[in-house]
Amino acid sequence: MSDITAPANETPSAENVEAFNRHLKGYVFIGGLQVLFTFVAVIFSFVFTETATKMSAVLLAASINAAIVAFIQMHLKGEKPFIWRFLYFTAIFFFFLFFLTLLHHGDPIAGSVIHY
């Protein structure tokens, strides 16, 4: 694989220009996806009227945007297993906390719910 950058005193070869153009197309595509999902999140916040539906839709669009950043821009697809274990445990902990919240919502502790 050729190096994308050429020394300052040399004219870039056709192979270097081709490699640069391939990388540039990929970065423009990923940037476009991020802008798209940002707009989708904003549009969802105006379209849905119910708060729970609105929050779920916006969080889904934001999660897709975050996954694009993590997997493609941060180059996580080629990381070592230690990093992946850390990310798996973070996701498990995240969903466990939501599960605990759901359990509390279904069977609240007496005196812990504030009624407005």
Position 28: which residue type? V
Q: Are 53 and 43 in contact (CB under 8 A)?
A: no
**pLDDT score for 9:** 64
Each residue's pLDDT tens digit, 40-98: 888 888 988 888 888 888 888 888 888 888 777 777 667 778 887 888 899 999 999 99
Instruction: Scan for tokens 């995240």, then name that residue.
Output: 94
Query: Is the confidence at residue 12, as pLDDT, over 60?
Result: yes
Q: What is the mean pLDDT of residues 11-17?
A: 78
Q: Within 13 Å, how many C-alpha atoms sit on residue 80's CB side?
A: 2
Calculate the CA 103 to chain-centre distance.
Answer: 27
